[in-house]
Amino acid sequence: MNQRIDLLPVDEADEPRNRQARDHARRQLSWPVNLAPETLSYVSDGHALLIGNERDVRRAARALADKGLGSLSLLVTEPVSASANGEDEALLTATRHLRQHSLSREQRRHLRLSGYLGCFTASLAPPQGSLDLAKALADRPHFDLVIDLGETPCLGLELPPPGYLAFHWEDPDRDARLGEAAALVGEFDKPRYVQVDSQRCAHAANGQPGCTRCLEVCPADAIASRQGRITAWIEIDSYRCHGVGSCASACPTGAISYRQPSASRQLDTLLGWLAAYLAAGGRTPVVRFVEAGASAEEDTAAGHVIDVPLEELGAAGHDQWLAALAGGAAEVRVQFRADMPQRLAAFLDDQLALGRALLVALGHAPERLRRLAPGDDAGRDALPALPPLTTSPLAPPGGDKRGRLDQVLDRLAELGTPDGRRHALPAGAPYGAVAVREAACTLCMACVATCPTPALGAGQDAPRLDFREADCVQCGLCEAACPEDAIRLVPGLMAAPARGERRVLHEEAAFACIHCGKAFASAGTVAAIKAKLADHPHFAGDAARRLEMCEDCRVRDAWRALARDPEAQSRV
C-alpha cells in the first residue's frame, strides 16, 4: 500500500523521551471529569418479589427475613420434588406467613416483568387473564426489587435494570448477592448518562421509518421506538440506562450524546494531549482507549502509550479513533475487558472494522487500529509498527458530530493517497450517496422534507434537487418518503473531494402560473398531479386548468366560479 511517510523510523531508544513527553502532555491538560451531571433518583422501600421454584424462593426468604426489607412476596414458577431430609417442612414453617402465588406452565409463558429499582411491575398477560401480582401479593402498585432464582431468568438482558438480581441458589456468590439485595433499601442517585436531541434524530420523519442504529447496540435494552399519531421517535429510559455509551457512538448525527464529558470536549482534550506530547519531543505516540477502572488496576503503561480513560469503552467510536490518528498518533489501540457485554463487544468490533475500511479507502494501513485482548500488557506496550502519519497537531474540529468527523476524514485524505473511487464499507455504515431516477422524479421535495441533515436540498431559484454526500448518514428516510420510488441509497465512501461538494441530482424548468405568470412548481410535478387528478370531480371540465395555477390564483378562480354558480359545489 502506498503511503506518504517521510518521518524517522520507530526506535526503542526513544522510550525515555516518549515517557517524558507523555507526562508533560498529561500535566498540560487534565482529562474532562463528570463534575456535576444531571442525576435521577431511585426510591426503594425494600418490597421484594422472589421468583423461582418453591424450595429456592423459600430458602432466599428465610435468609432475608431479618435483613430489613419491607416485605417478601413469593412467585413460584417451577415445581420441585419434595426433599428427603425434612427441609421442606422447616422452610414451610419459617415462611408460612409470606404471600405466595404459583404459576402453571402455561401461565409462566405469559408472565410480564418490567421496570427498575423502586418500580417493578409483574403481571400475567392475556389469554391467561390479567393479574397484577404487586397488587395481589403485596397490596402495592409495584415491587421495589426482584430476586430471580429461576433456571431461566425472566429478563434475559446482558445488563438488567438496577434492582433486578438473577442467580441460582447453588451459585458460590449467593450470599453476596443476597446481601446486595438487602442493601437496596433507601434513596439512590445516578447520573443521566446520555441525552437526546430529537431535532437531529434520523429515526423517523413524517411517518417514514429511518435509522435504528442506537436500538441495535444497547445491551440494556433501555432504548425504545415510540409511535405517535404521525411519526415515531427514540426514547431512552434513563432509569434502565447503564451509561455504556454505544448508542452515542453509533448515532451518526449526534442526536444522542454522552453528557459528561461531551464528545467534543473529550476529543479536544485528546488532541491537546497529542499536541503537547509531540511538542515535548515525543516521537511514537500510541493512543489507547481504556475504561478508567481497568486502567487503574494495571501496571504503568510504556512511555509512548497515552491512555484515554473512559467511564465506558463504548463512549468512543471510530470517529474519535480516527481523530487520534489524524492528530499524530501512530496507532490507536482499544483495550477490551473480560466481562464486557457481548453486544458492546460486537459493536466495538464493528466500529473497528468500519474504521479500518475508512483508513484503506483513504490510503492508510488498517493496522493502525488495533483491538487489545483483556490483560494483553505486551500488546499494550508494544512499539508501533509504523511511524505517525503527521507530526503537525490537528486543531480541534468544530461543529456538530458529523462536521467534526468530516474534518478528520479530510485531514486523513490529505495525509494519505485516496484513489477517487467509491469504497465498500461494512453493512450499515453511515456513509454513502443517493441515486435519483430523473425520469421518475417530479421534484416534489418529499425527500428534502424528511432528510434529518443538510444532505438533500431544494433549489432557491429553480426546481432543483441537490445533494452533499458528506452530510448523508444513509438513514433511508428519503428513499422511504419518495412517492415516485425514484430514490435509491448508494452505500460506501467516496474517496474524493467531490464528497464534500454540493451537486445537482435533478433539475427541471419551472412551470409558470397560466394566470399571473408566477413560477410555482416544476413542469414534472404539474404533469404528475394532472395525471393523478384527471378523473377527480373537483377538477372536471374547465376546473382542470386550476392545476396549472399558483396557489393564490387557484383560490381566486374557485371563488369566482362559486359566485357565478352557488349550487356548483353541492352538485359535485
Over range 106-113, report the average pLDDT.
88
CATH code, residues 41-190? 3.50.50
Match 398531479 to its residue by C-alpha cell: 529
Q: What is the pLDDT of residue 24?
A: 62
Convert the pLDDT of each residue in 230-280 to its tens digit: 889 999 999 999 999 999 999 999 999 988 788 889 999 999 999 999 999
Q: What is the pLDDT of residue 93?
A: 75
Neighbour-count burial of 505, counting CB atoms closer than 10 A to its CB (0-12 exposed, 13-18 middle, 19+ buried) = buried
- The C-alpha cell that represents 156 in the structure block: 434475559
Q: Are 471 and 528 in contact (CB under 8 A)?
A: no
Three-state secondary structure call for residue 492? coil
pLDDT-derived band of residue 107, with 50, 70 and 90 as boundaries? confident
* pLDDT greater at residue 243 or residue 85: 243
**Nearest alpha-carbon partner for 43 in 178, 148, 227, 188:** 188
pTM: 0.85
Q: What is the pLDDT of residue 16?
A: 64
Q: Residue 35 pLDDT more than 50?
A: no
Q: What is the pLDDT of residue 26?
A: 60
Residues of the chain with CATH 3.50.50: 41-190
Convert the pLDDT of each residue in 43-60 to its tens digit: 999 999 999 999 999 999
Rounded CA separation 209/230 (Å): 11
Q: What is the pLDDT of residue 30?
A: 60
Q: Residue 505 pLDDT more than 90?
A: yes
Q: Residue 472 pLDDT more than 90?
A: yes
Over range 379-403, report the average pLDDT.
92
pLDDT-derived band of residue 570, with 50, 70 and 90 as boundaries? low
Rounded CA separation 345/109 (Å): 31
Over range 551-558, report the average pLDDT.
87
* pLDDT greater at residue 445 or residue 24: 445
Q: What is the pLDDT of residue 329?
A: 96
Q: What is the pLDDT of residue 530?
A: 83
Q: Residue 34 pLDDT more than 50?
A: no
Q: Residue 6 pLDDT more than 80?
A: no
Q: Residue 207 pLDDT more than 90?
A: no
Q: What is the pLDDT of residue 146?
A: 97
Rounded CA separation 1/559 (Å): 72
* pLDDT greater at residue 1 or residue 88: 88
φ, ψ of residue 119 to 5 degrees: the values are: -160, 60
Rounded CA separation 305/303 (Å): 5
Q: What is the mean pLDDT of the chain?
A: 88
Is CATH 3.10.20.30 what the domain over 194-258 is classified as, yes or no?
Answer: no
Question: In this predicted structure, which of 361-370, 379-388, 484-493, 543-552 has the lowest mean pLDDT?
Answer: 543-552
Residues of the chain with CATH 3.30.70.3270: 194-258, 423-507
Over range 535-551, report the average pLDDT.
81
Q: Which CATH class is domain 423-507?
A: alpha beta
Q: What is the pLDDT of residue 10?
A: 47
Q: Residue 2 pLDDT more than 60?
A: no
Q: What is the pLDDT of residue 72?
A: 94
* pLDDT greater at residue 412 or residue 90: 412
Q: What is the pLDDT of residue 523?
A: 78
Over range 197-203, report the average pLDDT.
93
Question: In this predicted structure, which of 37-41, 313-317, 361-365 has the lowest mean pLDDT?
Answer: 37-41
E strands, 31-154, in order: 39-44, 47-53, 71-78, 99-102, 111-116, 119-124, 131-132, 145-148
